[in-house]
Amino acid sequence: MAFLITFGFLVITLGLIAKYRSQLADFFLRLPVPPTWAAIIAALVFSVIEEAFINIASGTLHVLVGTVPPLVFFVFAFGKLGQIFHAKTIRYPLIALMLFGIFFEAFAGGSSERFQNPDSAGILVFGVVFCAITYAYTSIVGLTVMIERKRSP
């Protein structure tokens, strides 16, 4: 039951984050740091929130040292790729990051065992969707800062 509540929370808050991503990006851009660092801080904040809620649902409170830094690095890397390729919106960098996240989790992440040996096809599909949602959750604001927003005056 806790997992369904967590999944519902992630989906609802992801919708709110997506709706208000420009305002959230502007908030992080007001920090007295360069825009790239503002994006990294945004990715860090949303990664910690996402990981904390997933760990609470599983009944554990693992230290997030092993999961948060890679998520933040992925947001930074895909944001830089978006800048290099002159992306106008976060659409393609976000889709690429979500696909990369699915492949990363399937082959190298903590869920690789579940991806490679699923209990059923439904569990595999749910795992792919859940993985895509978690990567989107951690990256929408950071990518918006890096690609779409300029520093507010």
Q: Report pLDDT for 152.
A: 43
Q: Quickly count: other Cβ atoms within 10 Å of residue 62's Cβ.
A: 13
99 in Cβ contact with 92 (< 8 Å): no
Q: Can you give the pLDDT at residue 113?
A: 73
Instruction: Give 10's contacts (C-beta < 8 A, 6+ positions apart).
Output: 50, 53, 54, 133, 134, 137
The chain-wide mean pLDDT, for the chain, equals 86
Residue ranges of the domains in the chain?
2-148
Cα gap 64→34, rounded to integer Å = 25
**Alpha carbon distance 80, 85 (integer Å):** 9
Q: In this predicted model, what pLDDT tens digit does every residue of 1-40 receive, in sequence order?
A: 667 788 888 899 999 999 999 999 999 999 999 999 999 9
Which are the contacts of 140, defined by CB distance < 8 A and separation ≥ 6?
14, 17, 18, 21, 46, 90, 94
In which band, very low, low, confident or very high, does the pLDDT at 75 lie, cut at 50, 70 and 90? very high
The answer, yes or no, to whether residue 77 has pLDDT greater than 60, is: yes
pTM higher than 0.95:
no
Instruction: Specify the pLDDT at position 57.
Output: 65
pLDDT tens per residue across span 132-146: 999 999 999 999 999
Which among 53-67, 72-86, 96-110 has the top mean pLDDT?
Answer: 72-86
